Structures are given as structure tokens and as C-alpha cells.
Structure 1
Amino acid sequence: MKKRKKSPPSPSAVPGGSLPLSLPELLPAVAVPLWALLLISTYHKMGVRLAAEDWLDFADLLAWIPRVLGAGLGRDLFLLAALWLVFHGAGSVLSRALRLPRPRGLEGFLLPAGLGTGALSLLLLLLGLAGLWHPAFLNAAFWVGAAASGAAVLLRLRSPAAPEDAAAVRPTEGTGLGLLPWLALALLAAVTVMDVLATAAPEIFYDSLTYHLALPKLYLLRGRITPTPENLFSGFPFGIQMLYGLALSLSGEDLAALLHCSFGAAAALGLWMWSRRYADPKVGVLAALLFWMSPIAIYASWNSGIDLGSSFFVGLAFFALCRSLEPAPAGTPAEASRWHLAAGFLIGSAMATKYNVLPLGCVLILVHLWQDRREGRPWQRSFWMAATAGLVLAPWLVKNAVFYGNPLYPFLHKVLGWAAPADWRPVLEAGGSRDLVRTFTTLAGFKELLFQPWNCSTGSWPLGDWPGPAYIFLAPFPLVLGWGLFRRQEGVPRHWTAAAGLAGGGLLVWALTSHLVRFLLPALPIIALAAAVALERGAFPAGLRRFGWAGALFSCVFCFQAAYRQGTGIGQWDLLRGRPDRVSYLKQQRVTYGLPYYAAMEFINTKLPQDAKVLFLGESRGFYCERDFIAATIYDHNPFWPAVRSSGTPAELRDRLKAMGVTHIFLSARQLHFRADSWALMPRDLAAGSLFGEFFARWLDPLYEEREDPGGNPRWLDVYALRDAPKTDPASFTPNPFHFVLKILAKQKELAK
């Protein structure tokens, strides 16, 4: 009988290989349990315990899912599916332009969707600059795009498989997942349900209320993207915020939070996709578990931040980078592969989410150059990857140059531009920026750098800003393996080496730039991937591998519990059960939501005319205002105070405000006291001056006031109308809260002496 000839493996086939130990086998077998005992002792002293009540409460919350779906989450899930359909449709066009293979399944959907997400973000930027950010136009264009994308998907499903689809990914043969990975999948399902439910709560994250959502909302109110020099964050790349503008146009802030959550879920799916191609499914399950169940990822998924968008783009960029490292299919010239351009586009999209990702984007390009040169390939592909990334980022720099005269606004303000210089140094301090001079010139600074992973994992953690215990528990596994970083190692696939290099580079970039753990999120998918490859494909005894899995699962169980308890403290789960309602929720002070201002927004949105323009004093959070507004951050010059300083009379000040289009003023007096140290919020010489006092008394009409001093929900909110003529009767003069705040501050200063 004739033997059947085996077909040669395709380039996409899952590679074999394992990671050899770089130390004697006995050492990890002894060191890992000892390391685990140290961690158990450390966490035990911190009071870390598993508690059944949190899990029972979560089980009860599941019964409220029908109510939450009916209250708006069901509609937003439908809109989310439509958004991803549009992402995929736009990305499919780009994939065809790059002549990328288009297999069916997860890879055939997720990679084009990533390209389309970046492309749609750029399109929304251009539409905003062209004055086409009107909700009616955006909504109509969106549904046309959704219909076209849906039709394209149906046509593709009905057409025969393309030749490229024959190279579909094959999982490792003869291996099942086993019990521990299935438990991990159950945990992943539970945390995803919790995260999706959490997005149905109103947004209270300070950064979102100040700029992630506030500025896209302002652009929608104005119908175009305009300069906002009073908000220095408007100079940052706004790749994700552009998509939030579309979400706000279609529905509201809940859809924006749900979209952000979906980026995290897609990043986890991307880890599974990479692992099926380059390792095995168990690696994908573990990597997804480590990433998606980290407390920083869980908490980020509840709000309209941007970090999970960065994670999504970085993860897909690394996948495309690895595809570019594969040998070209037989009969195809090497130059025909354009995966390096796809990787460059995704790297540029990642860098367009926030400046913090720029160093990580550079590390990605360097990893590609390193691997290409090691294989004897020319450097030009890495150059074009970098050029593509730069082209994707460039529109944001051009926008800044046009708006502020400075492509890197608010940075380099002493050299470039005409906008009032923002105080960006406190922004870096608030972001946990590391003093590199102190780090490398003092023993204490260098010690902080070295121990940062340990300290952030085992120290006290603020709300959600810690990586959880899983990473520090698994740290010994990748550290005792040979990854082929310094010289090529037999049996170690280059994609694993690239993952280790990028994970190390991402960890180093984070440690050198910030001590805030959430800024690790862009690199976290790759770090999770490297840890998972180490545990599953390292040359460890089976018992030690199972021990690592069990420790990771136990750590993630605690992460779920800790995150759920934080949601309880914020009041999210009670809100989903209908107590209190959304309006009452937004009027109550909460963690990350101090000195609530929503009551004044409710008055503004219902009582002021549609063409009103509100100047905010004391308050920086502009989201929830449905009228055009000017809201300066605590780091910026509020245009009101330069107007006071430049005016010779109260009437001239009134004219300057009218020239800005201001019709009303909103004041949060409690914020003046709370942020009394801010140079920008209340310049005391001007606030105590006679010109400002006379203007306040004669030229403003009080329309609304809500004040509560004692108790746990303090606020002092006022809304004023700008008059056309000054008051003449002293009995009708408007009381000035600024004077009251100044007296309190003076009294506190006296008592402190």
C-alpha cells in the first residue's frame, strides 16, 4: 500500500519548540514555592482574604440583567455591534489596499477591525476639522457605513474561500484545554459580564468628565473641532475620543464606556489569536486571563478612558509585526508582503491615543528591526513601518500647529506657539512622572525604580490602580528561561523572542516614565503574553506548571472580588438595581466624583436657551452640560481672569465676555476652596479686587443656587446671567461667593499660624 505523502506545514502552522531553562532544573522547583510563600505571607499581613458575600452579591446582580438591558444597555449592545461592523468594513478596504491575506474566523475579523478603528478615527478628525461634526450628519453617515459593511460581510460569506484562507490557523494537534484553562474561561466570562454591566452606570471618572468625553461633547455642540486653549488636554492625540464623539452622537456616555470595554475584550481575543498561531490555545487562555482580569484592566473597562484602546492597538500591532516576520508563502516575492505597513498603521493608531504610547511605539519598531536584521533582512521594512506610524500620528500634530502654533502643545510652549502657556508640569506630576535625574543620581531613586513592580503589586493600592498579585507571582517563570534575546537559541521561535523583548521594553518604558500602574496598560497584553508563554512552553515539570496555573487562577479570583467590592463602594451595583436613579446618583459625592456639579447642569440643560454659552468658574468638568461652554482645567488659564486683568472698568470686562460669546456663568464655590492652591482657579489679587467685586455685584443676575455645607455631600453651585446693563440699586446687588471663600481662607491661614 502506498504511503500517503505528508504535506509541508504552512507558514501559519503552530510552531513547536520550548523555552529552555537558563538555570539548573532544581532551582526553579525550589525558588517558585518559596516565592509563593513570601507573597502569601505579604498579602496575609495586608488582610487579603476571599469573601463569599461579594460572589453572592454578584450572583444576585445577575438577576437584574433584564432590567439593565431594558434600561438602555440592550440598545447600546446593538449599537456596539454596529460600530464593530463599521470598523471591520473600513478595515477590510484598507486590508485589500495592503494586499493582506484575509482568512475567515477571528483573524479575518479582528485585524481588519483594528485597521478600520484607526482609519475611522482619522476620518472623524478630518470631518470635525471640516465642520461636519453635526449629530444628524454623523448618524446618517454611520448607518450608511453600517449597511455597506453588513452587505460586504454577507457577500464574503456567500463567496468561496479565497486561496489565502487555506492557510488558516491550526491549533496544536492532540491537546485539549484541560480543567484549569476551562476554569479560567469561566472566570473570563464572569468578569466580562461584570464589566459590561458596569458600563451602564453614569460616567463619574474625572478625566472623562474633563476631557475624554467633555471635549468630544463640546465639538458636537459646536458642530466642529475648534481650538480650546483653556483645556491643555485638547493638544493631546485624541484617537479614541474621536470615536467617543460618534458614540455620543449615536447614544450617550454609556455607549462610549461600552466601546472602551470592548477594546479590552478585543485585546484579550487578540492574545488568543496570537497564541493559536504562534504557541497553543492554553497560552491564549492564560494570557487573556492575566490581562483581562488585572484590576487596572477591570476598572478601566468601566469608564470612558483611553488605555484599553491603546492596549487593543498595541496587541494587534504586535500580531501584524509577527506576521511580517514570517517567511513569504511559496511563490510569493518577499517584497509583496505588506504586513510591516499594517503594523506601522496600528502602531501609529496606538500612538494617536496618548503621548505616553510614543516610547512603546518606538520599542515595537526597534523589535521589528532587531528581528529583521537578525534574519539578514534589510532595514528598509522597519523604516517604512516607522514612516507609516508617523503618517498616522501626523494629523494630530498638524492640528496642534494650526490651532496653537505648536505641534506638541502644550509642551515646548516657551519655544513654540501663541496659546497661553499651560502649566503642564503638574500634569506630569499627577501622572506619576518619574524624576530621571533623581532616579539615576541617588540610591533612593534607583531603589524605587528597581522595586517598583514589587511595590505596586504588594503595597497599598488606590482605586483600581494595581496590577493584582498574578504578575508578581508568575515573575520567576519567565526570568529563569532562555528566550534567545542576546543570541539565537535553538528551538525558540523568533515570535516568542520578540514577545519577550517587547514585554521587557514595555515594562522598562513604564518604569522609567511613571509610577501609576494604569499607564502600564498599553504594554500589559504583551507582558501577559510573555508570562503565559513562559509558564506553558517553558521547560518546567508538569507539577510546577500546574502550580503556576493554580496560583494565577487564585490571584484572578481575588482580583475579581476586589474590583467588585470597589464597584460596591462607588454605588454602581445598587444603581443597576434601581436604587438610586441616575439623576440622584450623579448628585451624590462618590469616589473619583468629589463635589458633584450635576444639579447645576440639570438647571442649565432645562432652563437656559439653546444658544446660551456658559463660562465655568471653579469647575473643570464640562461633560453633562448640554449648552456651549468654556471650562478651563486646573492647569490652564481660564480666559475669564486675563479678561479681568486687562479690563479698566466692569463694563469693559462685560464687553470682553460678550466678545467671547458668554451669556451665563456657572460657579462651583466649593471647588475654589478645595483647590485654593491652584494658581489658575482663583488669582487672589484679582478675586479680591474692586473691579471684579463691582462687576459681580452689578453685571450678574443670580438664576440658580444650591448650597449644602455639612454632611458628606457638600456643594455650593450658582448659575448667573450676564446683564446688558448694570444694576444701580445696591439692594439688588449680587452677593459674591468669592469674597466669602477668601475670608474663609484668610481665617484658616490665621489659625494655622
Structure 2
Amino acid sequence: MVELIYCLVLAAVAVGFGNRILRYISHNCESVAEELSFSLGLGIGAFALGVMVLGLMHLLYEASLYLLVLAFGFAGRKELIGLAARLRGRGSDLPLGRRSLYSVLLALVGVGLLLGLARALMPVHGPVDPLAYHLALPKIYLSKHALTFEPTVTGALYPSNVGMVFALGIGLRGAELAQILHYFMGMAMLLFIAGFCRRYFDYRVGAWAMLFFFFTPVLVYFAPLGYIDAGVCFFQFLAVWALFNAATGEDRRSVILAAILAGLAIGSKHTALPTVAVGVILLAIGGLRRREAWGEVAGICLLYGGIALALASPWYIRGYLEAGNPFWPLGNAYFDGVPYRGTFSTGSARTVEPAAATFLPSLERLKSLLYWSATSLWHWSWVGEPPSWDWQRTIGVYHVLFLPGLLIYARRRQVVMLAAFCLVYYLIVVLRIDGNPRYSMFLFALLSVLSGYVAEQMIRGSLRRLRPVLLAGVAVTALGNLSLSYMLASRSIDYLLSDSSRERFLMQSEANYRVFRQVNAQLPENARVLLQGIVKGYYCDRDYLWDHPHQMVINYRQYNTAPALIARMRELEISHVVRMINLPGIRLKLGYPQYFADPFHEAFRKKYMRLIYRDEDYVLFEVKYPAATGNEGVHEPQA
């Protein structure tokens, strides 16, 4: 629970410092909710950039992180006090009775918030991505006090503003604080949605939209975990909100705010890059609609794009300097960067060879694109049967139920603009580029606003006779979503109410925790561990490498003899090996060998490895190097 207090303190500091930045920009907000939202986003973004600067300067220490928080807190103290005074008593401005429909909607959201918080308070365990790289990379940076290049770890050179927020949390209190910060950023979206609706619609639409977005299964599942997607959504939604303010208003300072937030979003994940292109189009349309001169419109667009790209550029410059490719490993064939064997898909066309990057249209491809354009929301609306649940592609039923109502109710300019933006982004980015709703959570926040607008129009307009049916349907689905949230949180609740220690829980719940416990206790500080068949290295406190088939650091096809492999391991200064005993089929398909059933690896093990520890899932070996012959200049790690 201490981590929750840390999170609230960091949020308060972020709001104060972010409000100072907001005042420096001289941006005028229409409501206190809008001011609070943009202040929080700018403050969290400032934390991310501050930690990045410390990492680039090799000053990533616990003490420097505390100094950063204290400096931001001192700089924004007056703004925080002033904003708190303006917030006092604002809750009474909302005309919500205790028994009103909208109070019930918010109460359902409140119960779901508590269930999600129970999961966020758990020790970090389970899913692969957080323990493999989202949290593991920030921990490595902290251990080395710098933003180092870890070529065997996926995402080593991706833009990482959210990762820097995680580094702040891990450095101050550990992975649990980073996990809670991710949950906080996801739940802050509810405030953002309320503020957005307050500006462009009303509080009633906001209540519906908050309910619909909060019960989006992809958010329910991923927000309490140490992924980065809710954090990307956090920055991207604010960027689009500020962009709409700039495109529909006359205040040029809104353009600067929109550009800063777009830069923070781009610096969080590559998938936010289209925000700049879409932003330029919206600003151009807005300027031409106001009959501004072409030169003035071009200047505004250049200002927006320039600030956004400049703010994100350190991540891409780092990628180019470290690997010869600013997007490494994406597009590696074009930049000739550090070798990486992985192939990446854009839409339904999978690139197998670099030369296959050309797009050749065909009738089948066109039919497939049209089919998915028309039906993907429908397919993504259902969870499916338990064994095959795909949480990252499950968006709930509300959008397919309410969005068709836009054909009737989309009469206001704001609604048409928002719907057009969502449609273009959905067709180009979600379907064509990543094909994964988890990577575009902010889009489903905007769709929740549109769905909320339609729901409110239905119960207030010509279809109000259907109000009982509509409310009954929402009640049933909301209770079903709460049941789903409780199912996910039930184990967390049991843990929080028990006297079980964190250590005991992790030993029972995280398969590789026990072997890494032995690594941390028995191996010397200068040991370097090769993880064979494993990518979740967060709990390993020694320097480690993956032997993932995509990373090409240890390519068993290239080093296919025992002398060649031991020479390569000596070159990489590997002193120990942690190996998964029985690899599942999905990892074998990636290209991993089944080590203990592979004659080459078995012969190598018997000759060059000594067993130190074994449990039912993992083994720990020491590498026994032969006397150096011709490699005397290579450092041999000491066990």
C-alpha cells in the first residue's frame, strides 16, 4: 500500500509542475478539469524527459531520482496550491443526485476501479512483456545508471517515455510502483474523457463515455499490469484533445500544447507517429476553414510538426547512434542496422524477405481488406471461450451497439469531426499498420465518447421509449463486466487479505523466480548469465543476455560446433546459463531448440557446463571454459 502513497505524491508533484509549464505556454483552459488534465499530462511527461536526460548523462541513481522529484515539487508548489484551491468545491457543480442514472453509472465505474487497483497492488508476475522488457529494461538502466543498448532484449531502442516513468517508479520503490503508475495513467483517462466531454458535449455524455471506456476488456486486463499501452493512451488522448482545441479555436498557443503532447506520445511508442500526420491535416483544414492565408497555415503546421518531432527526436537519434537505424529493429533492411532476424507485419501482408516490401494489389487482398474494414469491430467485441481469450483484441460490445446510431445523430460539427478522425485513424493505423486494438487504446476512448453521445441521444431523443430496454441492456453488460473484473481480481483480493509475504507469493506464482533467487544469492556480482528459452529476466539481478532466435547475438546455426559456440560464449563473457527444462511448443515455433532433447546442446552441456541448481522448471549451469588458445586477449569471466 505504500506504493499507492508514492503514486499519489508523484501525481501531485506532476500536476504542480505541469501546471507551471501550462502557464508558461499561456494556454487558457475552459474548465478546471481541462486544466488538471493537461497539467497532469505535462507533469508526467516532464518526469519522463527528466529521467531520460539523467540516463543519457549516466546519472541514473536513486538519489538523483529523489532530487528530480524534489526539484519538480519545489518548482510547482505554488501552482499546485492554486489549482487545489480552484478544485475545492467543484464537485458540487455537477447536477448529480444520489439516485440519478449518471450517479449509478459512475458508481459502477468506482467499483471497477477498486477491483483493478487490487490487481495493480500485486507483486509483478505473470504476463511475459512486462517482465521481459517493459519493466526489465528500466531496471537494467538503473543497475547500469545509464540508457545502455541491450541488443538481445526486445524493444531495447524503442522510444520509451513510459519506460522512463517506470524507471522512476522502480528506482524509488520497485516494480510494484511502476505497475501502479501504469494503472494510474490508465485510470486518469476517465478524468480526460470527462474533461473532453465537458468541453465539447456535456457531463451526461461524459458519464456514458467513462463507463464504456472503463469496461473495455483490453483496458480492464492490461491497465493494472506493467505494460506500456495505457501510458501511450494517456499521452495520445491528451495530444488529440489539444489538437482538436487548436483546430477548432483561434488560440495559437493551443498548437504549442498539442505539439508538446504529440511529441510525448511519439516518444512513447512508434504507433503514435501518425498523430503528427493527422494533426497537420486537421490544422490545415481548420486554418483553411477560417480563411487564413496559405503561408500562415503552413507556418502553423510546421510549428506543430517541428515541436512534436524535436521532442521525440532523442529516442530516434539514440537508435541511429547505437544500431545504425533510428527505428531499430523496424525497417532494418533499409538502414542496414544491427542484425535482427525478426519479421514484422503491416496489416494482412507479412514480409518474409527484405525484397518483399513492395505492395502488389490483388482481388483477394482487396476483399480481405474490405471484409476486415467492415467486420473487425464485430470480431473484436467478443471475448470468446476461456482457453482462447485474446485480451488485446477484445473491445467490448458497446461500440458495435451504439456507433451505428451516428448515422442518425451525427449532426453537430464536433461529432462529425470526431467521427471522421476516428474512421480515418482506424482504417489507416489500426487495420493497416498494427491490427491490434491494444496499441490504439486512445482511439477506443474517442469511440467511447461517440458511443456515449449516441446513448444519451437515444434516451433523450425520439427513441426515448426504448429507454427501459437500453438501460436494462447497459445494466446487464455492466454487471457482466464487473463480474469479469472480479474474476481477474479474485486472486489479488485473496492475496491482499492474507498474511502471505511477497517472497512467498512470487515463489509460488512466478516460475523462474526461484532460479533467479539462486542466481542472485550464489553468483558473483560480475557474472553474466545467458537465458536459454527464457525472456522474462526482470528478477535476475546479474547482467544477462537472451538467446532469442530473432536477436542474432547467439545464432546456433552459425555457431554449430562445440568449439565455435564456446568461443562465442567466451567472446560474450558468459559465465553461467539459466535454461528452461521443457520449452512449450510456441517457443519451439519461434526457433528455439528443445535444449535437453537436442543432441548438439546435450553434447555441449556435458562437456562445458556444470550443474549448480535445479528445480522442476529451470536449471542453473556454470560454464567451464577450456584453457584459452588464441583468445588470450579475451576476458574470461570469473565464477
Please give the range of the TM-score, normalised by the shorter of the 2 chains. Answer: 0.7 to 0.9
Q: 2:391 aligns with which of 427, 441, 464?
A: 464
Counterpart secondary structure, 2:268: coil
Q: 1:419 aligns with which of 338, 356, 373?
A: 338
Q: 1:284 aligns with which of 206, 210, 213?
A: 206
Partner in structure 2 of residue 682 of structure 1 = 593
Q: Does 1:143 align with 2:70?
A: yes
Structure 1, 181-190 or 420-429: larger mean CA deviation: 420-429
Counterpart secondary structure, 1:529: helix
Aligned amino acid, residue 416 of structure 2: T
Counterpart secondary structure, 1:415: helix
**Which whole-Å deviations, capped at 9, do the CAs of 1:302-357 have from their partners, x for residues lacking one?**
201112112222222232223324544xxxxx5xx311111121122222222223
Partner in structure 1 of residue 546 of structure 2 = 631
**Which whole-Å deviations, capped at 9, do the CAs of 1:161-181 have from their partners, x for residues lacking one?**
8xxx9xx99979x89797211
Structure 1, 367-376 or 180-189: larger mean CA deviation: 367-376
Q: 2:110 aligns with which of 189, 199, 204?
A: 189
Partner in structure 2 of residue 526 of structure 1 = 446
Provide closer, same or farther for how the CA distance between residues 223 and 352 of structure 1 changes in structure 2, counting only shifts above 3 A: same
- Within 2, Cα distance between the matches of 1:138 and 1:561? 40
Aligned amino acid, residue 399 of structure 2: Y
TM-score by length of 1: 0.73
Partner in structure 1 of residue 164 of structure 2 = 242
- Within 1, Cα distance between the matches of 2:56 and 2:349? 30
Matches within 5 A, 1:190-589: 190-203=111-124, 204-325=126-247, 327-328=249-250, 337-377=252-292, 378-380=296-298, 381-425=300-344, 441-444=365-368, 446-458=370-382, 460=384, 462-465=389-392, 466-483=394-411, 492=412, 494-508=413-427, 509-537=429-457, 539-544=461-466, 547-568=469-490, 571-578=491-498, 581-588=501-508
Q: 2:531 aligns with which of 588, 601, 616?
A: 616
1:620: how far off? 1.0
Aligned amino acid, residue 663 of structure 1: S
Counterpart secondary structure, 1:420: coil
Aligned amino acid, residue 616 of structure 1: L
- Within 1, Cα distance between the matches of 2:360 and 2:222? 28
Provide closer, same or farther for how the CA distance between residues 701 and 295 of structure 1 changes in structure 2, counting only shifts above 3 A: same
- Within 1, Cα distance between the matches of 2:255 and 2:30? 18
Work out whether residues 230 and 639 of structure 1, in 8 Å CA contact, stay in contact via their aligned partners in 2: no
**Which whole-Å deviations, capped at 9, do the CAs of 1:128-158 have from their partners, x for residues lacking one?**
1221122232233323433443355236768
Counterpart secondary structure, 1:303: coil
- Within 1, Cα distance between the matches of 2:448 and 2:514? 43
Work out whether residues 119 and 224 of structure 2, in 8 Å CA contact, stay in contact via their aligned partners in 1: yes
**Which whole-Å deviations, capped at 9, do the CAs of 1:547-570 have from their partners, x for residues lacking one?**
5454334322211212322444xx
Work out whether residues 171 and 276 of structure 1, in 8 Å CA contact, stay in contact via their aligned partners in 2: no
- Within 2, Cα distance between the matches of 1:241 and 1:684? 33
Structure 1, 362-371 or 204-213: larger mean CA deviation: 362-371
- Within 2, Cα distance between the matches of 1:468 and 1:431? 28
Aligned amino acid, residue 422 of structure 1: R
Work out whether residues 595 and 602 of structure 2, in 8 Å CA contact, stay in contact via their aligned partners in 1: no
Aligned amino acid, residue 332 of structure 2: H
- Within 2, Cα distance between the matches of 1:650 and 1:440? 46
Q: Does 1:722 align with 2:596?
A: no
Q: 2:48 aligns with which of 121, 140, 157?
A: 121
Provide closer, same or farther for how the CA distance between residues 255 and 447 of structure 1 changes in structure 2, counting only shifts above 3 A: same
**Which whole-Å deviations, capped at 9, do the CAs of 1:506-537 have from their partners, x for residues lacking one?**
33232333443323412111111122223325
Identity rate, percent = 21
Matches within 5 A, 1:575-724: 575-578=495-498, 581-588=501-508, 596-639=511-554, 641=556, 644=559, 648=563, 652-653=567-568, 655-658=570-573, 662-671=574-583, 675-679=587-591, 681-682=592-593, 688-689=599-600, 696-707=605-616, 715=617, 717-723=618-624
Partner in structure 2 of residue 50 of structure 1 = none
Structure 2 unaligned residues grouped into runs of 5+: 353-358, 629-639
Residue-pair matches, total = 608
Greater length-normalized contact order (CA 8 Å, ≥ 6 residues apart): 1
Work out whether residues 474 and 548 of structure 1, in 8 Å CA contact, stay in contact via their aligned partners in 2: no
TM-score by length of 2: 0.85
Counterpart secondary structure, 2:156: helix
- Within 1, Cα distance between the matches of 2:589 and 2:517? 29
1:241: how far off? 0.9
1:409: how far off? 0.9
1:283: how far off? 1.0
1:299: how far off? 0.9
Provide closer, same or farther for how the CA distance between residues 244 and 280 of structure 1 changes in structure 2, counting only shifts above 3 A: same
Aligned residues: CA RMSD: 3.6
1:695: how far off? 5.1
- Within 2, Cα distance between the matches of 1:667 and 1:453? 41
Of structures 1 and 2, the larger Rg is shown by: 1
Aligned amino acid, residue 519 of structure 2: I
- Within 2, Cα distance between the matches of 1:440 and 1:268? 41
Structure 1 unaligned residues grouped into runs of 5+: 1-72, 329-333, 484-491, 708-714, 728-753
Work out whether residues 499 and 529 of structure 1, in 8 Å CA contact, stay in contact via their aligned partners in 2: no
Provide closer, same or farther for how the CA distance between residues 649 and 417 of structure 1 changes in structure 2, counting only shifts above 3 A: closer
**Which whole-Å deviations, capped at 9, do the CAs of 1:163-213 have from their partners, x for residues lacking one?**
xx9xx99979x8979721111010011011111111112222211111101
- Within 1, Cα distance between the matches of 2:583 and 2:271? 29
- Within 2, Cα distance between the matches of 1:296 and 1:302? 11
Work out whether residues 574 and 580 of structure 1, in 8 Å CA contact, stay in contact via their aligned partners in 2: no
1:475: how far off? 2.7
**Which whole-Å deviations, capped at 9, do the CAs of 1:450-503 have from their partners, x for residues lacking one?**
1111122146261534112222222332232334xxxxxxxx2x4333322222
Provide closer, same or farther for how the CA distance between residues 609 and 379 of structure 1 changes in structure 2, counting only shifts above 3 A: same
Provide closer, same or farther for how the CA distance between residues 389 and 94 of structure 1 changes in structure 2, counting only shifts above 3 A: same
Aligned amino acid, residue 518 of structure 1: R
Work out whether residues 290 and 470 of structure 1, in 8 Å CA contact, stay in contact via their aligned partners in 2: yes
Aligned amino acid, residue 153 of structure 2: N
Provide closer, same or farther for how the CA distance between residues 271 and 142 of structure 1 changes in structure 2, counting only shifts above 3 A: same
Aligned amino acid, residue 101 of structure 1: N
Work out whether residues 222 and 230 of structure 2, in 8 Å CA contact, stay in contact via their aligned partners in 1: yes
1:111: how far off? 0.6
- Within 1, Cα distance between the matches of 2:482 and 2:425? 25
1:696: how far off? 3.3
Matches within 5 A, 1:51-70: none
1:684: how far off? 8.6
Counterpart secondary structure, 1:671: coil
**Which whole-Å deviations, capped at 9, do the CAs of 1:229-269 have from their partners, x for residues lacking one?**
21242232212111101101111222112111111211111
- Within 1, Cα distance between the matches of 2:472 and 2:284? 37
